[in-house]
Structure 1
Amino acid sequence: MPRAWSLKSRPHGMPRGSDFALVEIDSAPLGEGEVRIANRWLSVDPYMRGRMNDVKSYVPPFALGEPMQGGAIGEVVESRAASVPVGTKVQHMLGWRDEAVVPGDQVQKLPDLGVPDEAFLGQFGMPGMTAYFGLLEVADAKAEDIVFVSAAAGAVGSTVVQIAKAKGMTVIGSAGGADKCAWVKSLGADAVVDYKAGDVVRALAEAAPKGIDVYFDNVGGDHLDAALLAARMDARFAICGMIDIYNDGKPQSLKYLAKVIGARIAIKGFIVSDYMARAAEFYRDMGGWLAEGKLQREETVHDGLDAMPDAFLGLFTGGNTGKMLVRV
């Protein structure tokens, strides 16, 4: 019997294991045009925390007692869709389970880029596209810009670092702890701020004495304050996520917000789905950088469907370097 994780109760603050329930789901016959997928890899991502709240947002909240959703990679084991035959490797959004039934026109065949399947949930998937379009389109970053990226040891941030270096930018990343900072430095970052070692505002000022032109925000909080204070004239901020407030809901301090006026700072939020129609551009450039040896990646892997909640919670406690994944 297939199994899936459901949301048992809506979390208040940091989620707990008791907020999740592993339930059996029907293995129904396929309808016309549908495929049955044996999931091999499952993604957990910070944005999923927002879907656990019963509030209106850019994606609907998870329904209590219903299977949760998220990115997944799997193999088609039964098909009633001629365009997606048995044996096809696909990506889809019915994760948090070991088996999924999906309309054939709602799955994406994995491109032939010479990378392992799981890479399409990380650097060559949604996190990578977030980094690519957020940096180059939303922030309009260009060669010789000074770029600051928070959560630089995560799936999105680490890709931002490498794309920025491939494009000839100076990059300052932030990460928590000596090991993660060393890894970010190995990716090509010109400087790394260890946010666990002291005041981020002071540390960024020391790392970027000339200021910054671009801030790629995954964190919010004191990182956003530091970026505002360090921003040069006409700086551009791409606001991707604010993991600092996902669980406690505290308001941003924004104590240096007035800097926006004098420095003419442009601040823009974005969602990667805005750019899905341009995926071919992303695959073209990422494939090129990969061939040139300019890309590295790392995954933190938990094994087994039972490990999904622990993997998810690890996103908020520094438990991952690179992309957090579950291998089914």
Structure 2
Amino acid sequence: MVPDRKQQLWMYRAMVASRAFEAAIKLAYMEGKQPLFNMAKGPIPGEMHLSDGQEPCAVGVCAHLRADDTVTATHRPHHVAIAKGVNLQAMAAEIFGRATGLSGGRGGHMHLFDPKVNFCCSGIIAQGMGPAVGAALAAKLRGSDAVAVSFIGEGAANQGAFHEALNLAAIWRAPVIFVIEDNAYGISVSKRDSTAVERNAVRAQAYDMPGVFVPGNDADAIFAAAGEAVRRARMGEGPTLLELETCRLEGHFMGDAEQYRPKGEIERLKAIDPIPAYRSKLIERGVVPEQLHELESQARRDVEAAFAFARASVPPEPRSALEQVFVTGGVR
């Protein structure tokens, strides 16, 4: 399956928008945290996980999805959220903790929820896998051809929830695709030091489902593999496990000293940055640079507008703290 020109341009624009969003996050996040880094300071306190380098995974899969398809993502979610169509302004406002955010500023960047496009994420490793299986089963019971996709990191494949979710998905022949974004590191621990198998795709065999490894961090190759997985799911043929080789161009979190990286690794990864590589591929295939420049400019304008909206929005009223949350113990 090969993406057509319209799909390729959509994927490129979404990747550029994601990278621009992360660049804007970097600037905003570091406000008030220098010269001595203090995670609690600035307009965006707490941890921040950037997805630079992993954009092809999101666009190659989400290019096949509809608004009624469910996607669950990880603590590194922005590229997936953008590819799934989450509103940029509401997402930026949520990250800034503003009342106009997706959850009224209550969730922050690791807990983004947008029911309009059926997207959610969680900071708990492998947590999104069970809900994705549940969403897929619900679609099947309704007689819908909607599918669910669960994005996880390679470290999540060593969690119990991974095996539980794959087992149930296989038993129910649920229309779900499990997507492993293999960036080679679980926080600071390399995959080779934490995982018994070289490729997590082989684990699919234990649950009688296809397991596909896609090397190269290439949006077109991911698009092809994801297209077949989504087709199978929509046709009632059951789940698929996709393992996508990708790279993390930033640390596990902003402020990560990355001393666990081998010397020269960051420079090597930046030399194969997937976005300029895909840009060059599109030009080789006949897309004029001016068209790409316009897509890039529009994506950056959208991000700038989103951050301007977030900064202009107000924080939620303190008295609203118990709204939209579960309340127990008779508290009113």
Larger RCO (CA under 8 A, 6+ residues apart): 2
Higher helix share: 2
**TM norm structure 2:** 0.35
Higher strand share: 1
**TM norm structure 1:** 0.35
